[in-house]
Structure 1
Amino acid sequence: MKIGLLKDVNGNLSNLANSVSFVTINGREEDVHLTYEKLERIRRTDVLIGRSFLGGERELLSQCTDLLVDLDPLKDIEIKAGKVQVGKFGLCVEGSCVKVSHIIPIRDGVFSEVSVVDLLDLGIMKEVHRVIKKRGVMRLFIRDKSWGGPEPKRVVGYIEAAKFVVMNVKAHGIVWEYVCKSLS
């Protein structure tokens, strides 16, 4: 049985956005340093353990493992917006939501607006950049740091690394909405 643990900078269990290392235990312990593209680094595990997963992380990580253990679950936050949503709802196109059990092929430059809900991963944001039209808008909804979300400075770093620029930031209760425009 292969068990994976997501850990933060202090070695405590963490959610995906705040994790800096991924420890796997399968007869021996292996510690892998995580960078921006965390989902690509996490290998298939039987059990994945973390704390305070964001809603979108929970949905995506459950596809990578047989059993996802969240040691500190928070209530789901329901947000309805945009043309495409990736995250806690699976994949929503024009309001029709489907659970994604495999990658859905989408052509380049198809959508004028994409919303990413409660999920922070550079690989996902690069895919959003690929499927969004030139000068398209990405709306990123992320939980506030006081409610288990990542540092705002890190969020902006991910946005800029994915070739977007932040146009506006709005607070919606405990959720921040980053309105971003594609640079190309």
Structure 2
Amino acid sequence: MARPSTIDKLPDDILSQLQALLADPRVSQLQATAEINRILSSQGAKPVSTSAVNRYSQRMDAVGKRLKERHAVADMWIAKFGRLPEGQLGQLITQLVQSLAFDVSLAMSEGVMDPGDMEGTVKMLKELAITQDRLEAASSRNAARESDIRKQAAEELAHRAASEGDSITPERLREIIRESYGV
């Protein structure tokens, strides 16, 4: 496993300041490093190297790029969700959860993931899988409920049409449909 970098060992408040500095396009990495080292020096802590800040920045840029790519893919699928039948949507979500599980397993086996993050990541993945299962179950219940409503409406419409007798006109049928469905 990879050992934590000096940046990862920074206190949370200083790490947040470094992240803010790196996110500011007006601040160079050298300036960010100098500012963080000034803060660390005032606290009697060891300074961080410019190469450590550069590696951290590159790692965060790579993570940001992956997140943007995943967000773009998610946006694409969200745009298609309205057109996907219930079963295909469930299959898609299942494949996404499996893909995430594979990515996390790969990162863990390659030592890319910080050991401290593993427990939280695995817990989050487990909760995502449970949520996916619940969404699939809710989707199935909604589909069954919609089918029951349609069946009940069709039976009601058939009963009302039958009560009119054999001489029902197309106009009267349209009127019954309007009355039944409120359209």
TM-score by length of 2: 0.29
Larger radius of gyration: 2
Q: Which of the pair is proportionally richer in strand?
A: 1
Q: Which of the pair is proportionally richer in helix?
A: 2
TM-score by length of 1: 0.29
